[in-house]
């Protein structure tokens, strides 16, 4: 039994979007659909500081599905499309079963980590990019970060984890104290987003 | 006619991924792990490996962020499907960014040039028709010959730029690249891109231009790192982790930058200097050193030209002034006989003026008359030059507190070793040569160069590659052994091109320019004053543009030649420049798209059609082999064969390169605080020159952006300050729809107070206008932008702006002696639309 999770060291994140782009390409994402993005806290525009010039604040928040221990999306799914893999802890949406009802979007305490594809999506290129077994992107379904379950199944790491330029991202089994992610978290202060929602997220934001 | 008629609208070709496209289980079953394939012992099979159903090739990202990232190019069914970071020998250097990861969006962009095209409408009308390579080559050869027959070979110029940093392209400079070979074979002249060189002009005065930068793996040995006009988190994201790791190790990270950006957010101390006033800050620090005697006198006497004596005519006292005739000795570099007239200093030990080599204790100040001549020491001159920049005055000009100036001064003296990561933020002003001389002195007079932990400059590595390349590769001979004719000696600076074309005069000299070949150069979108660029290009008889993408510059051309993309031919990548210390072998991962050809094959084809085929009777690999065939490379174990086998080879012999600054590159190997002769970067064209500004230490505020400038005191109260983008390298990637999701359009960023005063909110459309241009863009509120400043990326093409262009607001003016485009010396007014 494995409990996959991530640690993201915000003090090392330089807001470069490499994680988001690695995800975008690896998963052959359609136009204007992302699983993973880097938010500039307090602005709709990247790299715009908040506050005043005398006392500015600039913080980056890489954001995707938190693959919670007790996912709110799981209980509300009427078709069983949302599933949590008991062997890995990865939360996925089966596009064959999803009816696009958006219950999961409403139940999830995290904004913007899921996308409803109202119809068949469009792509920038007339060819498939990324991994050969990238997820399908079916119209009428909701999709989100899969923790790159296809890669994890063959022993690789999720695309966003392959090489963070700031060396800020750590991946592995949270239940294994020897895993990279557990070692990265050990002794560090961290935040779990929207912890009060009680879903027990598996993405740790290190300070 | 052309598929580029509406350049703003990229074709969003819809493609439905369904069951038919992805056969689910079948493909899944076929996939074995795709992690890095084994890359040892490739031997004759090269570096390509296979991962599952993918083939993986080695490729270099050759854009001018100059990261030189080494990439895995993943190919499936003959198409590149993704790119990933390829391991470098030292994994700390292994890197990739959002641009490198989205290469597929460039390779297969609908904006790719796929076949030669010929202009059929008015120049600039954007009307082109597809032609064959034969037609294109015939057209070029015929027109080129007409021009050179009438006006000589120099009437055609090559204008290369930074779009493709590989050995077989033009971006590495004409002394080593295949563009240089072509230029020398056809006898063409050259146009200098005239950018990014204002600070190097200052350093020519100070150090003679020797490298002062230590490899970035040395940063952990510094006590303090100061990012001064440098933006690694955005411009070189691959290097940011070195700074962060050093900081976590106890190094104090200081960022001197007018913008509170990702670097400032990471810093232990952000110093919010007013943009363009860094020189006043540095002058204030030097003032503290001089008035309080904080510098080591022995160092000033032995290592700087402070004891040199300046006569009233501004020249140094030399032995000929004491009646000793100059001798004639062979120059150690050229072997040619040159007159030697040694510098004279006043030796306190002998209480007399003596040749510098004879002095044991040269006086630094208060030297009596020499042979009846009143003299001033260089130190006295320097002290006088910065006397007005008291800490209070420096603080006032630079918008800092007096204690900030004091603290920076203290750090360089007491907290070393200090590494100063100095880069182009300071460069893009008319005052850049003066500013850089002053800032360089702060670091160098306090001993913060030339040893572990003490580095000055930026981390782009190019000196070894440049030094070791076998230059002969650009000066070929024919089969009978006769050398090619060689290039025309002129390298024209951009600001004078229109006058040259109009009048046939370059300064006082008669010259002719009738045609230009733009190669990997989007001058129309990247040079200052886009209207000026369009104007001078429109006056030419022949305009050729070779590129991978349709650009604003291609749109001005008569003939467009489609160049293949970086991964579509073999080449040596990361050549000039790279922010890692390796050259890399770039494999051909896929065939060139459409009818595109590599830069090498394009130059070869044109040379052949013009009758110079004998000088281009070689392949890309043979060119690379010859270019790497030098004693310098042999000593490093570098050859084409070794490179093909290993993929990446280090260009420094030592594990961590530390620059040697024991002998400076000046006349007597000393740091200079004064030059007796005016140094010209683009030549003496008869322009008026003020010796007070050029020979000694000096600072003035920006001509347009300075707070007391006519422009900002009058109608244009904002400083327009250009920003680098995360997802563009200059205009490259502007055609990439993947990166456009992150940065979809040009944004003008304003301080919240200014925005409130003008009634501007996030997303509003605003107009920026000034004395020469206008642009309409969206606004964003950014508290990291100082008051009365517009911060905005300029790396976009004309169609990306709602109206006008950013570049239309930038003056093409040069400093009197430096041909450096002053992208940040701009004032503007802001209006809500």
Residues of chain A in contact with residue B260, where contact means CB-CB under 8 angstroms, are 49, 53, 56, 58
Calpha distance B252→B271 (Å, rounded): 13
- B748 and B636 housed in the same domain: no
Cβ–Cβ below 8 Å for A49 and B245 = no
Chain mean position to CA B559? 28
Residues of chain A in contact with residue B79, where contact means CB-CB under 8 angstroms, are 127
- B377 and B523 housed in the same domain: no
pLDDT reading at B31 higher than 90:
no
- B534 and B450 housed in the same domain: no
At residue A181, the pLDDT reads: 98
Confidence band of B52 (pLDDT split at 50, 70, 90): low
pLDDT reading at B826 higher than 90:
yes
What tokens does B400 get?
């800092």
Confidence band of B53 (pLDDT split at 50, 70, 90): confident
- B132 and B275 housed in the same domain: no
Q: Domain for residue B692, yes or no?
A: no
Measure CB to CB from residue B97 to each of A32, A165, A167 and give the nearest one.
A165
At residue B433, the pLDDT reads: 98
At residue B125, the pLDDT reads: 86
Confidence band of B48 (pLDDT split at 50, 70, 90): low
pLDDT reading at B295 higher than 50:
yes
- B79 and B138 housed in the same domain: no
Q: How far is A78 from chain B (nearest CA, A)?
A: 24
Calpha distance B34→B27 (Å, rounded): 13
Q: Domain for residue B744, yes or no?
A: yes
Measure CB to CB from residue B241 to each of A125, A156, A165 and give the nearest one.
A165
Phi, psi torsion values for B709, nearest 5 degrees: -70, 155
Size of the A and B interface in Cβ pairs below 8 Å: 203
Measure CB to CB from residue A123 to each of B14, B739, B743 and give the nearest one.
B14
Cβ–Cβ below 8 Å for B262 and A32 = no
Stated as kind and residue range, the H or E segment containing B280 is helix B278-292
Measure CB to CB from residue A46 to each of B742, B753, B785 and give the nearest one.
B742
State the average pLDDT over residues B259-266: 98
Q: How far is B305 from chain A (nearest CA, A)?
A: 42
State the average pLDDT over residues B483-501: 97
Domain boundary among B107, B126, B146: B107
Calpha distance B249→B91 (Å, rounded): 19
Tens digits of per-residue pLDDT, B134-164?
Answer: 999 999 999 999 999 999 999 999 999 998 9
Is residue A113 within 8 A of residue A65, CB to CB? The reply is yes
At residue B16, the pLDDT reads: 25
- From first CA to last CA, the distance across chain A in angstroms is 28
Confidence band of B32 (pLDDT split at 50, 70, 90): very low
- B725 and B787 housed in the same domain: yes
Reduced to 3 states (helix: H, G, I; strand: E, B; else coil), residue B217 is: helix
State the average pLDDT over residues B749-765: 98
- Nearest chain B residue (CA) to A59: B265
Say how many C-beta atoms besides its own lie within 10 A of residue A42's C-beta.
Answer: 14
Tens digits of per-residue pLDDT, B176-203?
Answer: 899 999 999 999 999 999 999 999 999 9
- Sheet architecture: strand order including A203-206: A169-173, A4-9, A203-206, A190-191
> Averaged in consecutive runs of 10 residues, what is the pLDDT profile of chain A (207 residues)?
95 97 98 97 97 98 98 97 97 97 97 96 97 96 98 96 95 97 98 97 98
Domain that residue A82 falls in: 4-206
Handedness of CA B258, B263, B264, B270 (dihedral sign): negative
What's the CATH code of the domain at A35?
3.30.70.20
- B401 and B448 housed in the same domain: yes
pLDDT reading at B13 higher than 60:
no
At residue B1, the pLDDT reads: 36
- B311 and B440 housed in the same domain: yes
Q: Domain for residue B568, yes or no?
A: yes
pLDDT reading at B808 higher than 80:
yes
Interface test with B, best of A9, A13, A18 (most B CBs within 10 A): A18
What is the interface pTM, i.e. ipTM, of the complex?
A: 0.98
Q: Domain for residue B198, yes or no?
A: no
Cβ–Cβ below 8 Å for A127 and B727 = no
SS3 for B586-648 is: ECCCCCCCCCCECHHHHHHHHHHHCCCHHHHCCCHHHHHHHHCCCHHHHHCCCCHHHHHHHCE
Tens digits of per-residue pLDDT, B107-126?
Answer: 999 999 999 999 999 988 88
Say how many C-beta atoms besides its own lie within 10 A of residue B667's C-beta.
Answer: 14
Residues of chain A in contact with residue B30, where contact means CB-CB under 8 angstroms, are 132
Cβ–Cβ below 8 Å for B76 and A132 = yes
pLDDT reading at B352 higher than 50:
yes
Cβ–Cβ below 8 Å for B726 and A16 = yes
Cβ–Cβ below 8 Å for B15 and A43 = no
pLDDT reading at B242 higher than 80:
yes
Domain boundary among B107, B130, B145: B107
Measure CB to CB from residue A166 to each of B17, B244, B783 and give the nearest one.
B244
Calpha distance B424→B460 (Å, rounded): 12
Measure CB to CB from residue B244 to each of A12, A128, A133 and give the nearest one.
A12
Measure CB to CB from residue A16 to each of B12, B52, B237 and give the nearest one.
B237
Tens digits of per-residue pLDDT, B437-484?
Answer: 999 999 999 999 999 999 999 888 999 999 999 999 999 999 999 999
pLDDT reading at B171 higher than 90:
no
Residues of chain B in contact with residue A165, where contact means CB-CB under 8 angstroms, are 95-97, 237-238, 240-241
Q: Which residues pair with A43 in a beta bridge?
A: none
Calpha distance A39→A45 (Å, rounded): 8
What's the CATH code of the domain at B614?
3.40.50.740
Calpha distance B677→B675 (Å, rounded): 6
Q: How far is A206 from chain B (nearest CA, A)?
A: 14
Query: Residue A126 burial by CB count (10 A; 0-12/13-18/19+): exposed, middle or buried?
Result: exposed
Q: Which residues pair with B699 in a beta bridge?
A: none
Tens digits of per-residue pLDDT, B61-97?
Answer: 999 999 999 999 999 999 999 999 999 999 999 999 9
Domain boundary among B59, B75, B107: B107
Which residue, B772, B822, B824, is CA-closest to B793? B824
Calpha distance B815→B429 (Å, rounded): 9
Q: Domain for residue B373, yes or no?
A: yes
State the average pLDDT over residues B412-439: 97
Cβ–Cβ below 8 Å for A28 and B741 = no
Cβ–Cβ below 8 Å for B81 and A49 = no
Confidence band of B236 (pLDDT split at 50, 70, 90): very high
At residue B574, the pLDDT reads: 86
Cβ–Cβ below 8 Å for B98 and A16 = yes
Query: Residue B390 burial by CB count (10 A; 0-12/13-18/19+): exposed, middle or buried?
Result: middle
pLDDT reading at B531 higher than 50:
yes
State the average pLDDT over residues B659-668: 94
Domain that residue B263 falls in: 214-457
- Nearest chain A residue (CA) to B268: A11
Cβ–Cβ below 8 Å for B12 and A48 = no
Tens digits of per-residue pLDDT, B621-646?
Answer: 999 999 999 999 999 999 999 999 99
Q: Domain for residue B305, yes or no?
A: yes
Tens digits of per-residue pLDDT, B391-422?
Answer: 999 999 999 999 999 999 999 999 999 999 99
At residue B47, the pLDDT reads: 62
Cβ–Cβ below 8 Å for A132 and B31 = yes
Calpha distance B79→A127 (Å, rounded): 9
Mean confidence (pLDDT) of chain B: 92
- B607 and B539 housed in the same domain: yes
Interface test with B, best of A48, A55, A150, A155 (most B CBs within 10 A): A48
At residue B42, the pLDDT reads: 37
Q: Domain for residue B245, yes or no?
A: yes
Q: How far is A30 from chain B (nearest CA, A)?
A: 9
Number of domains in chain B: 4
At residue B44, the pLDDT reads: 38
Cβ–Cβ below 8 Å for A56 and B784 = yes
At residue B470, the pLDDT reads: 96
Measure CB to CB from residue A165 to each of B12, B237, B784 and give the nearest one.
B237
Cβ–Cβ below 8 Å for A122 and B96 = no
- Nearest chain B residue (CA) to A58: B265
**Gyration radius from chain B CA atoms:** 27
Calpha distance B301→B308 (Å, rounded): 9
Number of domains in chain A: 1
Residues of chain B in contact with residue A126, where contact means CB-CB under 8 angstroms, are 13, 15
Interface test with A, best of B253, B260, B727 (most A CBs within 10 A): B260
Query: Residue B24 burial by CB count (10 A; 0-12/13-18/19+): exposed, middle or buried?
Result: exposed
Interface test with B, best of A31, A52, A165 (most B CBs within 10 A): A165
- B233 and B379 housed in the same domain: yes
- Nearest chain A residue (CA) to B242: A166
State the average pLDDT over residues B34-52: 41
Is residue B57 within 8 A of residue B80, CB to CB? The reply is no
- B225 and B330 housed in the same domain: yes
Tens digits of per-residue pLDDT, B210-234?
Answer: 999 999 999 999 999 999 999 999 9
- From first CA to last CA, the distance across chain B in angstroms is 35
Measure CB to CB from residue A24 to each of B12, B738, B783 and give the nearest one.
B738
Q: Which CA distances in Å does B458 have to B198, B431, B783? A: 14, 19, 28
Calpha distance B629→B434 (Å, rounded): 40
- B324 and B395 housed in the same domain: yes
Is residue B84 within 8 A of residue A130, CB to CB? The reply is no
- Nearest chain A residue (CA) to B723: A47
At residue A1, the pLDDT reads: 80
Confidence band of B2 (pLDDT split at 50, 70, 90): very low
At residue A167, the pLDDT reads: 95
Measure CB to CB from residue B98 to each of A17, A120, A137 and give the nearest one.
A17
At residue B8, the pLDDT reads: 35
Give the strand pairing for A82-84 and B789-793: unpaired
What's the pTM value of the predicted model, to 2 decimals? Answer: 0.94
């Amino acid at each position: 039994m494995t409990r996959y999770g991530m640690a993201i060291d915000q003090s090392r994140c330089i807001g470069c979007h490499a994680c988001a782009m690695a995800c975008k390409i690896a998963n052959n994402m359609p136009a204007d659909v992302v699983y993973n993005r880097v938010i500039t806290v307090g602005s709709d525009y990247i790299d715009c500081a908040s506050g005043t010039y005398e006392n500015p604040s600039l913080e980056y928040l890489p954001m995707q599905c938190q693959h919670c221990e007790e996912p709110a999306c799981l209980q509300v799914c009427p078709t069983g499309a949302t599933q949590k893999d008991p062997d890995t802890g990865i939360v996925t949406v089966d596009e064959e079963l999803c009816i696009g009802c958006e219950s999961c979007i409403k139940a999830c305490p995290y904004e913007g980590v899921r996308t409803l594809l109202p119809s068949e999506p469009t792509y920038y290129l007339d060819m498939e990019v990324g991994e050969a077994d990238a997820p399908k992107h079916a119209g009428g379904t909701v999709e989100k970060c899969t923790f790159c379950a296809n890669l994890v199944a063959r022993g690789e790491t999720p695309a966003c984890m392959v090489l963070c330029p700031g060396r800020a991202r750590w991946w592995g089994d949270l239940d294994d104290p020897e895993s990279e992610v557990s070692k990265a978290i050990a002794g560090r202060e961290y935040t779990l987003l929207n912890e009060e929602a009680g879903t027990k997220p598996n993405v740790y934001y290190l300070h | 006619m052309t598929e580029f008629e509406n350049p703003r609208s990229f074709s969003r070709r819809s493609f439905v991924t369904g069951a038919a496209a992805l056969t689910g289980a079948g493909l899944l079953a076929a996939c074995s792990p795709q992690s890095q394939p084994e890359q040892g012992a490739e031997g004759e099979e090269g570096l390509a490996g296979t991962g599952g159903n993918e083939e993986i090739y080695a490729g270099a990202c050759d854009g001018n962020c100059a990261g030189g990232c080494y990439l895995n190019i993943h190919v499936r069914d003959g198409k590149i499907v993704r790119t990933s970071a390829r391991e470098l020998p030292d994994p700390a250097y292994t890197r990739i960014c959002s641009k490198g990861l989205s290469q597929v969006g460039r390779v297969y962009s609908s904006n790719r040039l796929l076949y030669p095209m010929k202009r059929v409408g008015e120049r600039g009308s954007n009307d082109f028709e597809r032609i064959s390579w034969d037609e294109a080559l015939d057209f070029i050869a015929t027109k080129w010959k007409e021009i050179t027959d009438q006006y000589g070979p120099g009437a055609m110029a090559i204008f290369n730029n930074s779009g493709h940093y590989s050995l077989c392209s033009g971006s590495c400079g004409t002394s080593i690249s295949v563009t240089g070979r072509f230029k020398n074979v056809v006898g063409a002249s050259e146009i200098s891109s005239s950018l990014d060189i204002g600070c190097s002009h200052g350093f020519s005065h100070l150090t003679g231009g020797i490298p002062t930068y230590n490899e970035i793996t040395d940063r952990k040995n510094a006590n303090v790192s100061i990012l001064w006009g440098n933006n690694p988190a955005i411009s070189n994201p691959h290097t940011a982790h070195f700074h962060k790791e050093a900081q976590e190790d106890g190094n104090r990270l200081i960022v001197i930058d007018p913008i509170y950006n990702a670097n400032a957010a990471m810093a232990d101390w952000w110093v919010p200097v007013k943009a363009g006033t860094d020189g006043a800050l540095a002058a204030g620090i030097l003032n503290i050193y001089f008035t309080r005697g904080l510098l080591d006198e022995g160092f000033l006497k032995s290592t700087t030209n402070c004891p040199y004596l300046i006569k009233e005519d501004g020249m140094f006292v030399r032995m000929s002034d004491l009646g000793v005739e100059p001798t004639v000795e062979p120059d150690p570099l050229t072997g040619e006989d040159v007159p030697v007239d040694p510098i004279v200093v006043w030796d306190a030990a002998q209480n007399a003026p003596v040749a510098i080599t004879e002095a044991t204790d040269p006086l630094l100040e208060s030297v009596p008359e020499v042979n009846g001549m009143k003299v001033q020491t260089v130190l006295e001159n320097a002290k006088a030059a910065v006397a007005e920049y008291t800490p209070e005055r420096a603080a006032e000009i630079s918008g800092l507190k007096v204690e900030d100036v004091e603290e920076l001064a203290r750090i360089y003296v007491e907290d070393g070793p200090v590494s100063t990561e100095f880069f182009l933020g300071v460069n893009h002003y008319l005052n850049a040569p003066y500013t850089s001389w002053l800032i360089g002195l702060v670091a160098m007079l306090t001993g913060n160069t030339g040893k572990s932990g003490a580095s000055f400059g930026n981390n782009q590595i190019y000196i070894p590659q440049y030094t070791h390349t076998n230059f002969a590769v650009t000066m070929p001979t024919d089969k009978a052994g006769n050398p090619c004719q060689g290039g025309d000696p002129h390298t024209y600076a951009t600001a004078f091109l229109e006058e040259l074309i109009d009048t046939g005069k370059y300064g006082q000299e008669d010259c002719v320019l009738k045609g230009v070949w733009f190669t990997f150069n989007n001058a129309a979108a990247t040079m200052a004053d886009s209207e000026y660029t369009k104007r001078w290009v429109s006056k030419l008889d022949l305009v050729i543009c070779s590129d991978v993408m349709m650009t604003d510059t291609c749109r001005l051309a008569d003939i467009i030649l489609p160049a293949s993309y970086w991964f579509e031919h073999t080449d040596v990548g990361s050549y000039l420049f790279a922010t890692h210390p390796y050259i890399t072998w770039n494999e051909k991962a896929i065939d060139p798209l459409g009818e595109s050809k590599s830069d090498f094959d394009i130059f070869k084809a044109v040379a052949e059609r013009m009758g110079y085929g004998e000088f281009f009777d070689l392949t890309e690999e043979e060119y690379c082999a010859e270019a790497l065939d030098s004693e310098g490379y042999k000593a490093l174990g570098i050859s084409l064969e070794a490179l093909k086998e290993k993929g990446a080879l280090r260009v420094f012999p030592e594990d961590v390169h530390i620059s040697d600054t024991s002998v400076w590159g000046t006349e007597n190997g000393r740091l200079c605080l004064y030059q007796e002769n005016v140094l010209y970067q683009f030549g003496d064209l008869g322009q008026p020159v003020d010796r007070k500004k050029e020979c000694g230490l000096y600072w003035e505020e920006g001509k347009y952006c300075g707070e007391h400038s006519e422009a900002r005191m009058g109608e244009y109260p904002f400083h327009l300050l250009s920003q680098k983008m995360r997802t563009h390298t200059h205009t490259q990637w502007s055609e990439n729809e993947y990166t456009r999701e992150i940065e979809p359009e040009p944004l003008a960023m304003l301080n919240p107070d200014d925005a409130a005063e003008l009634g501007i909110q996030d997303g509003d459309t605003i107009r920026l206008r000034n004395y020469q241009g206008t642009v309409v863009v969206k606004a964003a509120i950014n508290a990291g932008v100082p008051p009365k400043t517009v911060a905005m990326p300029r790396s976009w093409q004309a169609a990306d702006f709602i109206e006008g262009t950013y570049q239309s607001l930038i003056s093409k003016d040069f400093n009197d002696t430096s041909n450096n485009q002053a992208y940040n010396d701009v004032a503007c007014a802001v209006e809500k639309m």
